[in-house]
Amino acid sequence: MKQLKCPLNGLRNITEFTYGGEFHVQPDPVECTKEEWVEYIFFHDNHAGEVVEWWCHSASSYWFVARRNTITDTVIETMSVADHMADSTAGHAPGNNTLKAQQVINRD
């Protein structure tokens, strides 16, 4: 049985979770351009290897972040969004998609 560790609820059966897509910092909907919003909603890296993803524990509706290797389907770590943002700000999150999202939004 495949299991995933929820930062709030501990180790649970994978069937209790919903995948939420790649983790990207949402641009301010009031301040961003239409092009930036379209990039955020529809364009994702979807690359093989280590990625940062949204996951939700369905029973508790708790959203959190997981670093997962998409080639081996191995979860490297899970953490609260606050912890991930703190690590990302300090530059301690290898495989962090936040920078990549900003690069996509800013491309010409």
- Cβ pair 84, 52 in contact under 8 A: yes
Fold of the 3-106 domain:
Folate-binding fold (3.30.2270)
pLDDT digits (tens, 9 = 90+) for 9-24: 999 999 999 999 999 8
Tokens 């351009």, located at residue: 33
What's residue 104's pLDDT? 36
pLDDT digits (tens, 9 = 90+) for 43-87: 888 889 999 999 999 999 999 999 999 999 999 999 999 999 888
pTM of the entire predicted model: 0.73
**DSSP structural state of residue 16:** G
Contacts of 85 by beta carbon, 8 Å cutoff, 6+ apart: none
CA distance 88 to 94: 9
Measure CA 12 to chain center.
Answer: 19
| pLDDT tier at 95, thresholds 50, 70, 90 | very low
- Cβ pair 42, 34 in contact under 8 A: no
CA distance 105 to 99: 10
